[in-house]
Chain A
Amino acid sequence: MVNYISQSAASSLRLIRTDPTSVYIGVDSTNAYPSTGRPSVRLESKRTFQRGLFILDVAHMPAGCGTWPAFWTLGSSAGWPHAGEIDIIEGVNDATTNLMALHTTPGCAISGAGGSGNVISRNCDVNAAGQSPNQGCSISDARTTSYGTVLNSIGGGIFATEWNSAFIKVWFFPRGQAPADVFSSNPAPETWGTPAAVFQGACNIDEKFRDHRIIINTTFCGDWAGSVWAGSQCRTKASTCAEWVRNNPAAFREAYWRINSLKVWSQ
């Protein structure tokens, strides 16, 4: 359902553009695509990272039926999931809260303690018994400001991810509520209060998460957005997710990222 296009093609279609204070990363919302995928963009950082503090200032994120946007990091030194995956912003369709997750090989689980979000699953192994395939360990933010149309209505916010040898934590600060030092030259997460998600437990983080690239993408339908279509309010729009994505370009006018900045800090 998706057709990831090159930089030159994306620029020609104006799916990517910049202004003095932000970048825009969108999808085609003009044309129907009855037989090919809807054009979109998947960015992967040229640089890789091992631990650090990742601070994303996002003003708008893709939202709406058929969408599956994600801001995440993926291990580049081995095939998935042998170098791990960290999902920082992710959701599908008309979701109202952000789902944060880790995906690993066997031998990594979290206690679920310490964060304000709702723990959905504790075993980060993508093939863990008793969990959906590829589910991993996951924590849902309890606030509707953390995702989609409500996030966009407040002007977005700050997603900060601290990844070290002991834990991976994610904070979300709605627009105007971030601590001042988030934007300073010496951010100190230890002073930021309770994170939305704390991934910590029986897991060798240095072994499971290696050489990650930052990825920003918007895809459509697929294993997640497509499979839950029938159980969502989106089912009233079309019989399948694919049908909706192919034939309703105007429905994807809100399927764009607007990012003010992204900074990666190390100690």
Chain B
Amino acid sequence: MTYSQDIFIMKFLLSSLLLGRSVSAFYTVLAETYTPVDFFSKFNFYTVRPPLPSRASKFS
């Protein structure tokens, strides 16, 4: 086995390992963060009573 073949196999094994982790449960992208600095600016304050069963929408 040549040096280049060794490198190829190592890269293949490494990428397979990384791919396997990412498919199962490995999170790297912070899609959204809510901190005290900006918390309330990222939410709407909901005040309308929808015509739904109260438990469904947790109205009472």
Contacts and interface: CB of A to CB of B under 8 A. Distances in A.
B34 A222 contact: no
Contacts of B43: 43-46, 216
B58 A70 contact: yes
Interface string A241-258: 000000000000000000
A236 B14 CA distance: 64
Contact of B36 (A19, A134, A223): A19
The dominant DSSP class at the B interface is mixed
Contacts of B28: 185-186, 265, 267
Interface stretch (A20-28, A116-124, A137-145, A200-208): A20-28
Contact of B60 (A23, A68, A79, A216): A68
Given A133-B53, A186-B27, A222-B55, A263 B33 contact: yes
B30 A134 contact: no
13 contacts: A2-B60, A41-B45, A43-B43, A53-B27, A103-B56, A134-B56, A219-B59, A220-B60, A221-B60, A224-B55, A264-B31, A265-B30, A267-B27
